[in-house]
Structure 1
């Protein structure tokens, strides 16, 4: 019986191999040229995929909702949140807030990658002095909150908006490097350690995609089918991973204010056939802040300050089980599966704050804070990116809102004056000679549009008001806030260089590909495959 099973398995394996070898090759739908063939140019095409989220992320299916619509009171007393219907694209978001252990991982990376750069490590260290209060004895938290193992799964605090940006960049590079080493596209971690030299340079995703990362190829490095490719030391022609391969993850970033509010509400659990059955004031259902379920009846659903002088309730029956912050997986997640979207710590968002942000807002992926940049080239002719001491590309403010001509592009990169785009004036409809130096009419492009459409004189920001282009939105309420701040529509701001014991953050990632995440048994239009093409002999 065992022998018969073995023969059957071998037969099926052979049939599978034959069918695989006889399968039709992928062809260009417009030229008919076969992909992945080293004899016709060697263009490599991977199969279309819907990439999985990075570690720690949860898929958030986007949709329409009323931004600011869950607010039940104007807590800022200044018409701070006008309701606007908007659409949020599907994206990924961290299941939990970034914890102390997550941040210690980051500090360890800096210590081993840049052992002689004390400044880099110092600048990345959270400000633990945020725990100090003139009339409180919080000194134990100053010394132990970040580094003691007892607090390792608590949310990191004392982190500025700027430090959060740097962490997102680190996390992007760390996950992509790990993917490439564990899948054999680059030399494995063990091989790198055995060499005694470490990596040739700090890993950076942008540098890799521009073929400027000098790391050793791994045993599963992608074959280079380009007929002009040269064989390496192992006798094989291999190439670096490209974006087209679908292997690398998109960049981690802070969520926009609109994304954060949408994810916190979690209205997906209250929706049936596009009908929202119940609205929400908090990330959970109901008007109160206590659990109505029989097993947990009466328990506080988030970590916040119930009243003045009441951070955790009465000894022997603590209401939220936390005096300051709580572990990042405390309490029940919302309908998207996200923990602590109300209470515990406020969370930084990507947006620049304006009091009436939602009066002027795009209705798709609303965001305020765009700072357009271009990667600087050290050699425009060869396409070589300039990099800083950490191996990251240097970015400059964008000079144009459209693709420049090659002459304009190279002139800009080399610091020369770009050739003017002249206008041909007319006299009674007949082209006339253009005056020297005439340029296209219209507003000059401004790379930094954080204060877009502001009617207030920018020179007054930071003088007559604390609101300026460095003011960033944070949301969610904290362990030291009253319940009114747990409403996802509430919003406050702080300077991007300041930190607090009540503010942490979580990361997000843009979703690549189809917007629908869980099709389930929903009806769909069928998607037809392109007609097969093969030249006739």
Structure 2
């Protein structure tokens, strides 16, 4: 009887697997489940990629599987500033840089800018100079740091050290540049564009991912010999000379999502690396640092007593007594000098603090949203030219920002699609958002300000935060710096301050807690703030699929 039941069970399992495999084959055999039409693109039909597996990680990135965690829960709050209210958040899976962006990575960006936009030409000068890190951040009126001023960025001894002196705006522009260069290389490797196209790039002939996806004929200055000259494009044209599907489209899954700064929630989730304290669907205790335990020294037998991060250990103590148990650095240290956390990420505590994408506010509004929390959304859309095509910036239409400290930075590069704010057609009768700029949503808009409900004609112009208003203006061709020295200011918070996370080489251990958060003006830089990039993951939550515990 037992044997018969066993045989029946085996037969049922086999039948279920056969049915399942049949269903899968029907899903992915090139036929539509909706109409039965062919989706393979043969005979001139519509083509869809039905055998897509998983998104490739971009260069330098590691996968972080999303999940729930308690954001803002710190071990200590000696400041008593109510800045870290614990909130339960859920984060989608994403990719993040294994290490902080290094000097040599940033130098590659600078050298590319210098080649494409020679600073010797007046119209391009501010593109290159606006991207340069501020090396003077190393100077101290009562300290001798000229060695770092002159050498830290460019000397090969510091190539693999994290870049500093970069403000938040420069970090976001680097992220955009990295996106374009990575996707440009992918198209070349897959044979869609001419090999070596990037070597012949110029200000008049540049690649932009969004321009390629929306108007491929306008990429590289409209040079079809580049965008249609790859081996794969040649093959497609030979098979169908009239085909317009020789360009990669978003539905092909070949191009990667954008490199960007991680959100505060993503960065904190990745830094904690709580997989080591996970048990089924709960966490066994809490983590104070990216590593296990409550101390900054290793308890492992092989390296017992070694410091696990680069931080300031006390007054006048930036590394310890020379020799054993010294943390190996006085300023920053070479990336990968300390053990990674459970996600394989290095220096998520110590070395340098890191910019994240969020606009700073003292309170995280988890009452409104507890999924992929982020403050800083400004929604835009592609500008449309009179002929109905997207408007692409020429080399003479670069958009610049003059920052409050007088620095001029380029916010766009030639070849990009012009972005404009969304209007009523996109917001009418929507329940989730009603305007383009949502930085002040539920915090700083009129309905949540201290002036709401007052019979004050000027209430619309009142700011939520009484921060200094420093500005730079041009008068008779001269730059006028207007420093706000008002004694009536009560806060430094405004819409242009950004969160930075993690302790640095000049911070005490208190700041190594991933939940700690601070803010700094987005146009200013320091010698202890760097950054790393992240990338959203599309598709499944896990790279490996769900599997049983045992």
TM-score scaled by structure 2?
0.78
CA distance in 1, matches of 2:269, 2:198: 43
Counterpart-to-counterpart distance in 2, 1:192 and 1:474? 34
Q: 1:387 aligns with which of 365, 371, 393?
A: 393
Q: Look up the match of 2:438.
A: 449
Give the direction of change, closer, same or farther, for the CA distance of 1:306–1:220 in structure 2 (3 Å limit): same
Distance 1:368 1:444, change over 3 A: closer
Asked whether the equivalents of residues 39 and 47 of structure 2 are also in contact (C-alpha less than 8 Å), the reply is: yes
Superposed, 1:228-243 pairs within 5 Å as 230-231=241-242, 239-243=246-250
Q: Quick check: which has more Rg, 1 or 2?
A: 1
CA distance in 1, matches of 2:181, 2:364: 34
Asked if the contact 1:97/1:505 (under 8 Å) is kept, the reply is yes
Give 1:100's aligned residue.
103
Q: State the shift of 1:38 in Å.
A: 4.6
CA separation of 1:460/1:388 partners in 2, compared to 1, >3 Å: closer, same or farther? farther
The equivalent position to 2:55 in structure 1, one of 31, 35, 51, is 51
Q: 2:208 corresponds to which residue?
A: 204
| Cα deviation, residue 129, structure 1 | 0.7
Q: Does the CA-based 8 Å contact 2:211-2:392 persist in structure 1?
A: no
Q: Equivalent of 2:536, from 505, 510, 517? A: 510
Instruction: Measure how far apart 1:48 and its partner are.
Output: 2.2
Map 1:6-405; keep pairs closer than 5 Å.
Answer: 25-69=29-73, 71-115=74-118, 116=121, 117-189=124-196, 193=199, 201-210=205-214, 211=216, 212-213=218-219, 214=222, 215-216=226-227, 217-221=229-233, 230-231=241-242, 239-317=246-324, 319-358=326-365, 360-379=367-386, 382-389=388-395, 390-400=414-424, 402=426
TM-superposition CA deviations, 1:333-374 (whole Å, max 9, x none): 000110000000000010110111245551111111111111
Q: Contact conserved, 2:116 with 2:201, CA < 8 A, in 1?
A: no
Distance in 2 between residues matched to 1:45 and 1:442, nearest whole Å? 33
1:492 to 496, 508, 518: 518
CA contact (8 A) 1:255 1:349 kept: yes
CA contact (8 A) 1:264 1:283 kept: yes
Counterparts in 2 of 1:243 and 1:397: CA distance versus 1, 3 Å: same
SS in 2 for 1:201: coil
User: Which moves more between the two structures, 115-124 or 144-153?
Assistant: 115-124
Listed as ranges, the gaps of 5+ residues in structure 1 are 1-22, 405-439, 525-537
Give the Cα–Cα distance (whole angstroms) in 2 for the partners of residues 484 and 40 of structure 1: 63
In 2 relative to 1, CA 443–302 (structure 1 residues): closer, same or farther, beyond 3 Å? closer
Structure 2: segments with no counterpart, 5+ residues = 1-26, 396-413, 450-461, 469-489
Contact 1:35 1:42 in 2 (8 A): yes
Distance 1:176 1:314, change over 3 A: same
2-structure distance, mates of 1:225, 1:26 = 22
1:222–1:469 distance in 2 versus 1, CA, 3 Å: farther
Give the whole-Å Cα distance in 2 for the aligned partners of 1:257 and 1:192: 34
Q: Which residue of 2 aligns with 1:531?
A: none
Q: 1:461 to 1:443 in 2, by over 3 A?
A: farther
Structure 1 contact 37–225 (Cα < 8 Å) conserved = no
3-state SS of paired residue (1:402) = helix
Total equivalences in the alignment: 457
- Separation in structure 2 between the aligned mates of residue 34 and residue 330 of structure 1, nearest angstrom: 54
SS where residue 335 of structure 2 aligns?
coil
In the alignment, the residues of structure 1 paired with residue 75 and residue 48 of structure 2 have an alpha-carbon distance, to the nearest angstrom, of 55
State the SS of the aligned residue for 1:239.
coil
Mark the CA change 1:471 to 1:294 in structure 2 (over 3 Å): closer, same or farther. same
How far residue 488 of structure 1 moved from its aligned partner, in angstroms, is: 0.6
Equivalent residue, structure 2, for 1:461: 466
Report the Cα distance in structure 1 between the residues aligned to 2:286 and 2:317, rounded to whole angstroms: 29
Q: Which residue of 2 aligns with 1:9?
A: none
The alignment yields a C-alpha RMSD, in angstroms, of 2.7
Matched residues in 1 for 2:234 and 2:179: separation? 21
Q: Is the 8 A contact 1:59 1:91 kept in 2?
A: yes
User: Offset of 1:57 from its aligned partner?
Assistant: 0.5
Distance 1:46 1:221, change over 3 A: farther
